Amino acid sequence: MTQIQNDDTGTIGVIGLGNMGLGMARTLLRDGCAVTGFDLSVERQADAARDGVTIVASQQELFNACETIILSLPTARHVTSVLIGDDGLASCDLGPRLIIDTTTSEPDVTRELDAKLREIGHVLVDAPVSGGPAGANSGQLTMMVGGDDAAFAKAMPVLSVLGGKITHVGPVGAGHAVKIINNMLVATHLLTMREAVELGKAAGVDTNHLITALNAGSGRSAISEVNYPKWVLNGQFDSGFTMGLMRKDMRLAMALASQKDLTLPVSALAGQIWHQSAEMLADDMDFNRITELNANTKTDKAGE
Protein backbone atom coordinates (compact mmCIF):
# COMPACT_ATOMS: atom_id res chain seq x y z
CA MET A 1 0.00 0.00 0.00
CA THR A 2 1.25 3.52 -0.81
CA GLN A 3 1.82 5.59 2.31
CA ILE A 4 0.55 9.17 1.93
CA GLN A 5 2.79 11.89 3.28
CA ASN A 6 0.34 13.62 5.62
CA ASP A 7 2.25 16.90 5.21
CA ASP A 8 1.15 16.85 1.56
CA THR A 9 -2.54 16.17 1.99
CA GLY A 10 -3.40 17.13 5.58
CA THR A 11 -6.59 15.70 7.00
CA ILE A 12 -8.71 13.98 4.38
CA GLY A 13 -12.46 14.56 4.49
CA VAL A 14 -15.03 11.98 3.44
CA ILE A 15 -18.64 13.05 2.82
CA GLY A 16 -20.99 10.07 2.59
CA LEU A 17 -19.97 7.26 4.94
CA GLY A 18 -22.15 4.51 3.46
CA ASN A 19 -21.13 1.12 2.10
CA MET A 20 -18.38 2.64 -0.04
CA GLY A 21 -17.42 5.86 1.77
CA LEU A 22 -16.79 4.18 5.12
CA GLY A 23 -14.70 1.48 3.45
CA MET A 24 -12.55 4.17 1.82
CA ALA A 25 -12.24 6.04 5.13
CA ARG A 26 -11.04 2.83 6.84
CA THR A 27 -8.45 2.26 4.12
CA LEU A 28 -7.13 5.81 4.52
CA LEU A 29 -6.97 5.40 8.30
CA ARG A 30 -5.05 2.15 7.93
CA ASP A 31 -2.61 4.02 5.71
CA GLY A 32 -1.92 6.47 8.53
CA CYS A 33 -4.07 9.39 7.32
CA ALA A 34 -6.18 11.53 9.60
CA VAL A 35 -9.77 11.22 8.34
CA THR A 36 -12.68 13.53 9.09
CA GLY A 37 -16.15 12.47 7.99
CA PHE A 38 -19.68 13.71 7.58
CA ASP A 39 -22.91 11.82 6.83
CA LEU A 40 -26.53 12.85 7.28
CA SER A 41 -27.29 9.50 8.91
CA VAL A 42 -26.63 9.30 12.63
CA GLU A 43 -26.12 5.52 12.39
CA ARG A 44 -23.46 5.94 9.71
CA GLN A 45 -21.77 8.63 11.82
CA ALA A 46 -21.66 6.27 14.79
CA ASP A 47 -20.22 3.39 12.70
CA ALA A 48 -17.52 5.67 11.30
CA ALA A 49 -16.64 7.15 14.69
CA ARG A 50 -16.20 3.62 16.07
CA ASP A 51 -13.68 2.96 13.31
CA GLY A 52 -11.61 6.08 14.11
CA VAL A 53 -13.10 8.70 11.78
CA THR A 54 -13.43 12.16 13.36
CA ILE A 55 -17.07 13.09 12.86
CA VAL A 56 -18.05 16.73 12.40
CA ALA A 57 -21.51 18.21 12.84
CA SER A 58 -21.78 19.87 9.44
CA GLN A 59 -20.32 19.77 5.96
CA GLN A 60 -18.97 23.33 6.42
CA GLU A 61 -16.87 22.15 9.36
CA LEU A 62 -15.43 19.47 7.12
CA PHE A 63 -14.71 21.94 4.30
CA ASN A 64 -12.83 24.11 6.82
CA ALA A 65 -10.77 21.26 8.22
CA CYS A 66 -9.81 19.39 5.04
CA GLU A 67 -7.95 20.40 1.91
CA THR A 68 -8.76 17.09 0.22
CA ILE A 69 -12.41 16.01 0.21
CA ILE A 70 -13.73 12.67 -1.04
CA LEU A 71 -17.41 12.40 -1.95
CA SER A 72 -19.26 9.06 -1.92
CA LEU A 73 -22.89 10.07 -2.34
CA PRO A 74 -25.94 8.40 -3.91
CA THR A 75 -26.51 10.63 -6.96
CA ALA A 76 -25.48 13.77 -8.88
CA ARG A 77 -28.24 15.65 -7.06
CA HIS A 78 -26.58 14.99 -3.69
CA VAL A 79 -23.17 15.98 -5.07
CA THR A 80 -24.58 19.23 -6.48
CA SER A 81 -26.17 20.09 -3.17
CA VAL A 82 -22.94 19.46 -1.22
CA LEU A 83 -20.78 21.45 -3.62
CA ILE A 84 -22.93 24.39 -4.77
CA GLY A 85 -26.19 24.19 -2.77
CA ASP A 86 -27.07 26.24 0.31
CA ASP A 87 -24.14 25.85 2.71
CA GLY A 88 -22.22 24.05 -0.04
CA LEU A 89 -18.48 24.32 -0.60
CA ALA A 90 -18.91 27.20 -3.07
CA SER A 91 -20.62 29.32 -0.41
CA CYS A 92 -17.61 29.07 1.93
CA ASP A 93 -14.76 31.54 1.69
CA LEU A 94 -11.87 29.08 1.63
CA GLY A 95 -8.53 28.46 -0.04
CA PRO A 96 -8.23 25.82 -2.77
CA ARG A 97 -9.75 22.43 -2.06
CA LEU A 98 -9.24 19.17 -3.99
CA ILE A 99 -12.54 17.34 -4.51
CA ILE A 100 -12.41 13.68 -5.47
CA ASP A 101 -15.93 12.62 -6.47
CA THR A 102 -16.20 8.82 -6.30
CA THR A 103 -20.00 8.92 -6.65
CA THR A 104 -21.45 7.24 -9.75
CA SER A 105 -22.68 10.53 -11.15
CA GLU A 106 -23.55 12.33 -14.39
CA PRO A 107 -20.83 13.58 -16.77
CA ASP A 108 -22.66 16.82 -17.70
CA VAL A 109 -23.38 17.72 -14.09
CA THR A 110 -19.74 17.02 -13.21
CA ARG A 111 -18.49 19.32 -15.96
CA GLU A 112 -20.81 22.12 -14.79
CA LEU A 113 -19.68 21.71 -11.19
CA ASP A 114 -16.04 21.72 -12.30
CA ALA A 115 -16.52 25.01 -14.17
CA LYS A 116 -18.16 26.67 -11.14
CA LEU A 117 -15.60 25.40 -8.62
CA ARG A 118 -12.64 26.19 -10.86
CA GLU A 119 -13.69 29.89 -10.93
CA ILE A 120 -13.22 30.06 -7.17
CA GLY A 121 -9.94 28.13 -7.13
CA HIS A 122 -11.00 24.57 -6.34
CA VAL A 123 -9.99 21.44 -8.25
CA LEU A 124 -12.43 18.62 -9.07
CA VAL A 125 -11.69 15.14 -10.36
CA ASP A 126 -14.32 12.50 -10.98
CA ALA A 127 -13.03 9.16 -9.78
CA PRO A 128 -15.93 6.71 -9.72
CA VAL A 129 -15.14 3.21 -8.59
CA SER A 130 -15.76 -0.46 -9.20
CA GLY A 131 -15.05 -3.26 -6.76
CA GLY A 132 -17.79 -2.81 -4.17
CA PRO A 133 -17.42 -2.48 -0.41
CA ALA A 134 -14.73 -5.21 -0.41
CA GLY A 135 -12.59 -3.13 -2.78
CA ALA A 136 -13.22 0.03 -0.74
CA ASN A 137 -12.21 -1.70 2.50
CA SER A 138 -9.07 -3.26 1.04
CA GLY A 139 -7.75 -0.33 -1.02
CA GLN A 140 -8.22 -2.37 -4.18
CA LEU A 141 -10.85 -0.33 -6.01
CA THR A 142 -10.79 0.03 -9.74
CA MET A 143 -10.94 3.79 -10.42
CA MET A 144 -11.77 5.56 -13.69
CA VAL A 145 -10.57 9.10 -13.38
CA GLY A 146 -11.57 12.26 -15.24
CA GLY A 147 -9.66 15.54 -14.95
CA ASP A 148 -6.81 17.45 -16.57
CA ASP A 149 -3.25 16.20 -16.07
CA ALA A 150 -2.52 18.61 -13.22
CA ALA A 151 -5.69 17.65 -11.34
CA PHE A 152 -4.99 13.95 -11.85
CA ALA A 153 -1.43 14.37 -10.55
CA LYS A 154 -2.71 16.27 -7.52
CA ALA A 155 -5.25 13.53 -6.71
CA MET A 156 -2.90 10.61 -7.34
CA PRO A 157 -1.40 10.32 -3.80
CA VAL A 158 -4.90 9.72 -2.41
CA LEU A 159 -6.16 7.67 -5.35
CA SER A 160 -3.21 5.33 -5.07
CA VAL A 161 -4.17 4.46 -1.48
CA LEU A 162 -7.76 3.69 -2.47
CA GLY A 163 -7.26 2.02 -5.83
CA GLY A 164 -5.63 -1.12 -7.16
CA LYS A 165 -6.19 -0.23 -10.80
CA ILE A 166 -6.38 3.45 -11.66
CA THR A 167 -7.00 4.63 -15.23
CA HIS A 168 -6.94 8.28 -16.25
CA VAL A 169 -9.64 8.14 -18.91
CA GLY A 170 -9.81 11.79 -20.06
CA PRO A 171 -10.94 15.28 -19.03
CA VAL A 172 -13.34 15.96 -16.18
CA GLY A 173 -16.61 14.02 -16.65
CA ALA A 174 -14.95 11.21 -18.60
CA GLY A 175 -14.64 9.08 -15.45
CA HIS A 176 -18.38 9.29 -14.85
CA ALA A 177 -19.12 8.39 -18.48
CA VAL A 178 -16.89 5.30 -18.27
CA LYS A 179 -18.44 4.20 -14.96
CA ILE A 180 -21.96 4.44 -16.38
CA ILE A 181 -20.86 2.37 -19.39
CA ASN A 182 -19.24 -0.20 -17.08
CA ASN A 183 -22.44 -0.58 -15.10
CA MET A 184 -24.58 -0.78 -18.23
CA LEU A 185 -22.52 -3.87 -19.06
CA VAL A 186 -22.78 -5.32 -15.55
CA ALA A 187 -26.56 -4.83 -15.50
CA THR A 188 -26.91 -6.43 -18.93
CA HIS A 189 -24.55 -9.30 -18.14
CA LEU A 190 -26.65 -10.17 -15.09
CA LEU A 191 -29.65 -10.61 -17.39
CA THR A 192 -27.79 -12.62 -20.03
CA MET A 193 -26.19 -14.84 -17.37
CA ARG A 194 -29.62 -15.50 -15.88
CA GLU A 195 -30.76 -16.66 -19.33
CA ALA A 196 -27.63 -18.78 -19.76
CA VAL A 197 -28.35 -20.60 -16.49
CA GLU A 198 -31.97 -21.10 -17.48
CA LEU A 199 -30.96 -22.53 -20.85
CA GLY A 200 -28.36 -24.75 -19.19
CA LYS A 201 -30.99 -26.15 -16.80
CA ALA A 202 -33.40 -26.78 -19.67
CA ALA A 203 -30.62 -28.63 -21.51
CA GLY A 204 -30.06 -30.82 -18.43
CA VAL A 205 -26.71 -29.34 -17.40
CA ASP A 206 -25.85 -28.93 -13.71
CA THR A 207 -25.53 -25.19 -12.98
CA ASN A 208 -22.25 -25.51 -11.06
CA HIS A 209 -20.72 -27.47 -13.93
CA LEU A 210 -22.05 -24.94 -16.41
CA ILE A 211 -20.48 -22.03 -14.55
CA THR A 212 -17.15 -23.81 -14.02
CA ALA A 213 -16.95 -24.52 -17.75
CA LEU A 214 -18.07 -21.01 -18.77
CA ASN A 215 -15.43 -19.49 -16.52
CA ALA A 216 -12.77 -21.45 -18.38
CA GLY A 217 -14.28 -20.38 -21.70
CA SER A 218 -14.74 -17.18 -23.65
CA GLY A 219 -18.33 -16.59 -22.47
CA ARG A 220 -17.20 -15.67 -18.95
CA SER A 221 -17.70 -12.25 -17.33
CA ALA A 222 -17.40 -10.75 -13.85
CA ILE A 223 -20.97 -11.97 -13.37
CA SER A 224 -20.10 -15.63 -14.01
CA GLU A 225 -16.75 -15.40 -12.22
CA VAL A 226 -17.74 -13.35 -9.17
CA ASN A 227 -21.45 -12.56 -8.78
CA TYR A 228 -22.92 -16.02 -9.34
CA PRO A 229 -20.49 -17.93 -7.08
CA LYS A 230 -20.29 -15.22 -4.40
CA TRP A 231 -23.83 -13.87 -4.13
CA VAL A 232 -26.36 -15.70 -6.32
CA LEU A 233 -25.89 -19.49 -6.20
CA ASN A 234 -25.43 -19.57 -2.41
CA GLY A 235 -28.46 -17.31 -1.90
CA GLN A 236 -26.40 -14.76 0.08
CA PHE A 237 -27.37 -11.67 -1.94
CA ASP A 238 -25.19 -9.47 0.30
CA SER A 239 -22.91 -7.68 -2.18
CA GLY A 240 -23.47 -4.24 -0.60
CA PHE A 241 -24.80 -2.75 -3.88
CA THR A 242 -28.51 -2.13 -4.17
CA MET A 243 -31.24 -2.47 -6.81
CA GLY A 244 -31.95 1.24 -6.42
CA LEU A 245 -28.37 2.27 -7.25
CA MET A 246 -28.14 -0.10 -10.23
CA ARG A 247 -31.46 1.14 -11.59
CA LYS A 248 -30.03 4.66 -11.29
CA ASP A 249 -26.94 3.61 -13.28
CA MET A 250 -29.00 2.00 -16.05
CA ARG A 251 -31.17 5.10 -16.19
CA LEU A 252 -28.05 7.25 -16.57
CA ALA A 253 -26.67 5.03 -19.33
CA MET A 254 -29.95 5.21 -21.26
CA ALA A 255 -30.09 8.99 -20.79
CA LEU A 256 -26.52 9.34 -22.06
CA ALA A 257 -27.31 7.25 -25.16
CA SER A 258 -30.43 9.28 -25.91
CA GLN A 259 -28.57 12.57 -25.36
CA LYS A 260 -26.04 11.41 -27.98
CA ASP A 261 -28.82 10.20 -30.35
CA LEU A 262 -27.59 6.62 -30.15
CA THR A 263 -29.82 3.58 -30.56
CA LEU A 264 -28.55 0.69 -28.42
CA PRO A 265 -31.29 -1.94 -28.83
CA VAL A 266 -29.84 -4.69 -26.63
CA SER A 267 -28.91 -2.34 -23.80
CA ALA A 268 -32.25 -0.52 -24.16
CA LEU A 269 -34.14 -3.78 -23.59
CA ALA A 270 -31.98 -4.50 -20.56
CA GLY A 271 -32.72 -0.95 -19.37
CA GLN A 272 -36.47 -1.58 -19.66
CA ILE A 273 -36.21 -4.80 -17.67
CA TRP A 274 -34.25 -3.05 -14.92
CA HIS A 275 -36.74 -0.18 -14.91
CA GLN A 276 -39.73 -2.53 -14.60
CA SER A 277 -38.04 -4.59 -11.88
CA ALA A 278 -38.95 -1.78 -9.45
CA GLU A 279 -42.45 -3.31 -9.27
CA MET A 280 -41.03 -6.51 -7.76
CA LEU A 281 -37.66 -5.68 -6.23
CA ALA A 282 -37.37 -2.81 -3.75
CA ASP A 283 -34.62 -0.21 -3.93
CA ASP A 284 -32.81 -1.51 -0.86
CA MET A 285 -32.56 -5.12 -2.08
CA ASP A 286 -29.29 -6.56 -3.38
CA PHE A 287 -28.86 -5.86 -7.10
CA ASN A 288 -28.08 -9.53 -7.81
CA ARG A 289 -31.77 -10.27 -7.04
CA ILE A 290 -32.50 -9.30 -10.66
CA THR A 291 -31.47 -12.89 -11.46
CA GLU A 292 -34.55 -14.12 -9.58
CA LEU A 293 -37.04 -12.39 -11.88
CA ASN A 294 -38.92 -14.69 -14.18
CA ALA A 295 -37.03 -14.19 -17.43
CA ASN A 296 -39.90 -14.99 -19.83
CA THR A 297 -42.51 -12.86 -18.14
CA LYS A 298 -40.26 -9.84 -17.90
CA THR A 299 -38.89 -10.09 -21.42
CA ASP A 300 -42.43 -10.20 -22.83
CA LYS A 301 -43.48 -7.28 -20.67
CA ALA A 302 -40.42 -5.27 -21.64
CA GLY A 303 -41.30 -5.66 -25.28
CA GLU A 304 -44.79 -4.22 -24.83
- Burial category of 253 from C-beta neighbours within 10 Å (exposed 0-12, middle 13-18, buried 19 and up): buried
Type and span of the H or E element at 62: helix 59-65
If binding means CB under 6 A, how many residues of this protein chain bind ligand NAD? Answer: 27
The residue within the footprint of ligand NAD, chosen from 12, 13, 19, 182 (CB under 6 A), is 19
Task: Compute how many other C-beta atoms are within 10 angstroms of the C-beta atom of residue 134.
Answer: 14
- Interface with ligand NAD includes 122 (CB under 6 A)? no
103 sits near ligand NAD (criterion: CB under 6 A): yes
3-state secondary structure of 130: strand
Nearer to ligand NAD, 9 or 104 (CB): 104
Active-site residue 179, yes or no? Answer: yes
* Partners of residue 148 on adjacent β-strands: none
CA-CA distance, 50 to 64, in Å (whole number)? 23
**117 belongs to the binding site for ligand NAD (CB under 6 A):** no
**Are 12 and 34 contacting, i.e. CB atoms less than 8 angstroms apart?**
yes
Residue 298 as a binder of ligand NAD (CB under 6 A): the answer is no
Mark residues 212-251: x for contact with ligand NAD by CB under 6 A, - for none: ----------------------------xx---x------
Instruction: Enter the DSSP assignment of 242.
Output: B
Report the nearest approach of ligand NAD to the CB of residue 59 (Å).
Answer: 6
Q: Which of 14, 24, 78, 114 binds ligand NAD (CB under 6 A)?
A: 78
- Please identify, using beta-carbon distances, which residue of 70 and 210 lies nearer to ligand NAD: 70
Q: What gap in Å lies between CA 30 and CA 24, rounded to an integer? A: 10
What distance in Å separates the CA atoms of residue 239 and residue 261, rounded to the nearest whole number? 34
Question: Which one-letter amino acid corresponds to residue 106?
Answer: E
Q: 167: how many CB neighbours lie within 10 A of its CB?
A: 12
Residues 24-43 touching ligand NAD, rule: CB under 6 A, are 38-41
> Is residue 290 within the footprint of ligand NAD (CB under 6 A)?
no
Of 179, 201, 230, 260, catalytic: 179
- Is position 187 an interface residue for ligand NAD (rule: CB under 6 A)? no
Stretch that binds ligand NAD, among 128-136, 144-152, 188-196, 213-221 (CB under 6 A): 128-136
Up-side HSE of residue 144: CA atoms within 13 Å toward CB? 21
Reported as type and span, the H/E element at residue 21 is helix 21-30
Does the footprint of ligand NAD cover residue 132 (CB under 6 A)? yes
Of 12, 73, 124, 253, the one binding ligand NAD by CB under 6 A: 73
Q: How far is the CB of 50 from ligand NAD (least distance, A)?
A: 15
The CA distances from residue 238 to 232, 233, 285, in Å, are 9, 12, 9
Residues in contact with ligand NAD by CB under 6 A are: 15-21, 38-41, 44, 72-74, 78, 81-82, 103-104, 129-130, 132-133, 240-241, 245
Which are the catalytic amino acids? 179
